[in-house]
Chains A and B, each alone.
Chain A
Amino acid sequence: MATERRVKTLIIDGRDVAGREDQTILEAAREHGIWIPTLCHLEGLTNVGACRLCLVEVKGMGKLLSACTTTIWEGMEVTTHSERLHRYRRSIIELFLAERNHICAVCVANRRCQLQALALELGVDHVRYPYLYPRFGIDATHDLFVLDHNRCILCTRCIRACSEIEGANTLGMMRRGIHNRVITDLNQPWGESPTCTSCGKCVNVCPVGAISQKGLSVIEGRKEHKFLPYLTMMRGARP
């Protein structure tokens, strides 16, 4: 039951583009082959604007807007790439790297990690902030999967997949700011969770090596993202 949606025209990076009125800047840009970096966004999940990598400049707006959560409007003029945005995006990646323990060389997600790929893409060859080296634990209580908080970037993709696609609502978040942590149920060991269906969607949507299949070694981590839009479509959640 498709309702009629109006088409809006806007300018992204100097190009005239058109999109449906309910589309976000990110969707309109991607449809027209314009790349905007993202980490917390994943097609098939709702957008939360957590990572701030997709910040764009919009003419007439005093602040930067996240492309994944801002819908387009008529006559909008968007800049997705500028020296300032590039600088901010690099800083965001550096802060991710400094905040927890991202040691690519021994990480299951090495070479398949979106944080690593973006760092390369954005030319992050060093980190200007002091590393915090926190001592987060690892939840290895689940039979199949491991949750390594040291590598988590708090994008919440796992939480959204668990809630929106699987409907289990096992994963959640506790505390605030730098103490933020992904938890299972009411902060119980994952292996004791009565709600987890062991579906593995969280493993597949994790952009880094925080959630992985148990026993897999460096580079062996496989991610499969493409099933999400399909599942969403089949379940009729969105037209």
Chain B
Amino acid sequence: MAANGPTRIEIAPVTRIEGHAKITVRLDEEGRPADARLHLTQLRGFEKFCEGRPFYELPFIMQRICGICPVSHALASAKACDGILAVTIPEEGARLRKLANLAQVIQSHSLSIFYLSAPDLLLGMDAEPATRSLFGVAAADPQLARDGVLLRKLGQQVIALLAHTGKRVHPGWIVPGGVATPLTEKAREEILALQPEALAAIERSLAWLKRIMERFGPEIRAFANFPTLFMGIVGPNGELEYSNGWVRVVDATGKIVADRLDPARSPEYLSEAAEPWTYMKFPRFRKADGAEASSGGTPDGIVRVGPLARLNIVDQVDTPLAAQEWSEFRALERGVVLSSFHYHYARMIEVLHAIEKIGAMLTQPALDKRVQAKAEPNRNEGIGLAEAPRGMLIHHYKIDDQGLVIWVNLTIATGFNNWAINRGLLQAAKSFITGPEISDGTLNRLEAVVRAFDPCLSCASHAIGQMPMRVQLLGPDGMVIHEARRE
């Protein structure tokens, strides 16, 4: 950390979030934090420049929104295209899509846990900034870093083995009507061979997280720890599911507010708002009567999505080891788990589940070569919904009679969490900002609130560019009192 004049702190290395953001904290007359905001300052424009393209290209264009969760964008997009084709996709096609999405959950979560957040968790929020990176983790706990690299690699490898393109990051392969090619026996065997090592790695890591969690009492209490609704998809038996299912919403006591909602009718129960100070939208949930559902304590209709939400809404987790961990997780608090700090914990459990689930899904050799339903467009509109690693993701397209796209709307997981992130920042600011100077540890804690959600701001804002992060402390008149910046 190098001081650069009295009001500006510059910190290297590059901050550990996926996106371009600025945080402002506004103080009241007494100098206490009155409001805190996360600003997304740039726009991507996918919704606009896809207009005019053939709809069946969109799964390929849309997955370029993100290099971390391309499979989820491809999946949501392909499902929107399935809607346009009005087909039921072959069972094997659906299964392979699901496998790819699980693999991506593993790699994306591993990135968040080990590369972005482990430095805070292992070395502490107040550790020397220069050491707060994967390299710092590797120096302090080589096994943890190795496990992180291994798990991320596993997720990427599974995607590459499934896809005929052999690509890890933007695999293509997920197409309207299913997937482009069936699973080969060789790929199945190779994926299964990766299992034991991966299971051992995540179990070690999970044990580590549970050991260190008690050190973070203040953070658990102050990191977006408040009542909201939780939303996501669940499988037919209420189990943890990422690809095909119904939308469920529970409130802050764990009571089901809405269940078995049809993903294809999501505009009926979701609304979106925009604010002038950020490019990220504010989607909310509303009930069948149009009223925004109350979560008790926060403005109506505010939801959280993602790992924490998923583990809060499901009735069961359908793999043995993860099920056991899930029971422990749910015992953390009565009803549902409200602290967003526990996104980290939830993420680990989801990685464990995904590894187990992939193994279970591949025990039988794949024989069915029918993986893609082919059809011409039979509708002018389609909605696709999938669980991205960060939560519910919706692609909504309209086409003309020639199959060219005329309208696109994307509702991104991080957008759903937007309100909670902003509110969580204020909560943390109130807990940790005690004077006009922001210490590095405080700056890092504010960032860590954002990081706990693992937001993908480039997905959510459609922002272009490199990602510096600024934290500004504003006086009641809006003047900048203090600014901390990372380039």
A: residues with CB less than 8 A from B are 105-106, 108, 135, 137-138, 140-141, 146, 191, 214-220
Contact = CB atoms under 8 A, between A and B. Distances in A.
Given A138-B54, A217-B175, A106 B64 contact: yes
B374 interface: yes
B53 A138 contact: yes
Interface stretch (B55-63, B337-345, B439-447, B475-483): B55-63
30 contacts: A105-B60, A105-B64, A105-B170, A106-B61, A108-B57, A137-B52, A138-B52, A138-B53, A138-B54, A138-B404, A140-B54, A140-B402, A140-B404, A141-B402, A146-B54, A191-B402, A214-B376, A215-B56, A215-B176, A215-B374, A217-B56, A217-B59, A217-B60, A217-B172, A217-B175, A217-B180, A218-B57, A219-B164, A219-B165, A220-B175
Contacts of A219: 164-165, 172, 180
Nearest to A111: B165
B403 interface: yes
Interface string B59-73: 111001000000000
A219 B174 CA distance: 12
Contacts of B164: 219
Residue from A214, A215, A216, A220 with most neighbouring chain B CB atoms (10 Å): A215
Interface string B404-423: 10000000000000000000
Nearest to B377: A215
Contacts of B175: 217, 220
A90 to B, nearest CB: 27
Given A140-B402, A141-B402, A219-B165, A106 B56 contact: no
A208 to B, nearest CB: 15
Nearest to B402: A140
B78 to A, nearest CB: 9
Nearest to A216: B56
Nearest to B174: A217
Contacts of B54: 138, 140, 146, 214
Secondary structure call for the A interface: loop
Given A105-B64, A106-B64, A137-B52, A217 B402 contact: no
A150 B403 CA distance: 17
A216 B180 CA distance: 10
A217 B309 CA distance: 34
A218 to B, nearest CB: 5
A19 B165 CA distance: 43
Interface string B28-72: 000000000000000000000000111011011100100000000
A219 B60 CA distance: 11
A154 to B, nearest CB: 21
A219 B54 CA distance: 15
Contacts of B56: 215-217
A177 to B, nearest CB: 24
A214 B57 contact: no
Contacts of A138: 52-54, 404
Given A138-B52, A217-B180, A106 B404 contact: no
Contact of A106 (B60, B180, B376): B60
Residue from A106, A108, A135 with most neighbouring chain B CB atoms (10 Å): A106
A140 B403 contact: yes
Contacts of B59: 217
Given A105-B64, A106-B60, A106-B61, A215 B376 contact: yes
Contacts of A215: 56, 176, 374, 376
Nearest to A108: B57
Nearest to B61: A106
Nearest to A220: B180
3 shortest interchain CB distances as A-B pairs? A140-B402, A106-B60, A218-B60
A142 B54 CA distance: 13
Interface in B231-273: none
Contacts of B170: 105
Nearest to A110: B172
Contacts of B403: 140, 214
B68 to A, nearest CB: 17
Nearest to B59: A217
Interface in B356-379: 374, 376
